């Protein structure tokens, strides 16, 4: 969800990449939550942080609350940590889980908006 939001909110001159410590398939609820916000992430795939070239990065934003967050030893990077709950399985019902995905989507949207405003990027 973060990659989809960042791609929709950042100017085209900003390269957005997303990767995880344990990549898996993109959760269908994430696809639905993003679709409800007008952002299509159906073609997105989950990628490993091990496949990211740190020399291509200036800022690392981690969202992990309980997972192992990546470290890029030897690289001067801006590092931001915005921990969020994992919405997958966050409810007893499908509706409660969907509410968790929407809640996390909006939390990430807010933080990204603040980050973009601080960078003073024109979209």
Domain limits of the chain? 2-118
- Cα gap 3→9, rounded to integer Å: 10
CA distance 103 to 82: 14
Q: What pTM did the predictor assign? A: 0.87
Q: What is the pLDDT of residues 14-45, one digit of tens each?
A: 989 888 877 778 899 999 999 999 999 998 88
pLDDT in tens, 60-115: 888 877 656 777 778 888 888 898 888 988 888 999 999 999 999 999 999 999 99
Q: What are phi and psi of 48, to 5 degrees?
A: -90, 140
Specify the CATH number for 2-118; select among 3.40.50.2300, 3.90.1300.10, 3.10.20.740, 3.40.50.150: 3.40.50.2300
Element (H, E) at 31: helix 28-36
Residue 66 pLDDT: 67
Cβ–Cβ < 8 Å for 10, 109? no
């Amino acid at each position: 969800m973060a990659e989809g939001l960042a791609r929709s909110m950042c100017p085209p001159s900003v390269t957005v990449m997303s990767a995880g410590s344990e990549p898996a398939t993109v959760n269908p609820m994430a696809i639905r939550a993003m679709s409800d916000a007008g952002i299509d992430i159906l073609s997105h795939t989950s990628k490993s942080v091990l496949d990211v070239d740190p020399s291509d990065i200036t800022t690392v934003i981690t969202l992990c609350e309980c997972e192992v967050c990546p470290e890029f030893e030897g690289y001067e990077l801006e590092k931001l940590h915005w921990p969020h709950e994992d919405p997958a399985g966050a409810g007893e019902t499908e509706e409660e889980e969907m509410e968790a995905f929407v809640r996390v989507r909006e939390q990430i949207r807010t933080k990204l908006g603040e980050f973009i405003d601080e960078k003073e990027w024109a979209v």
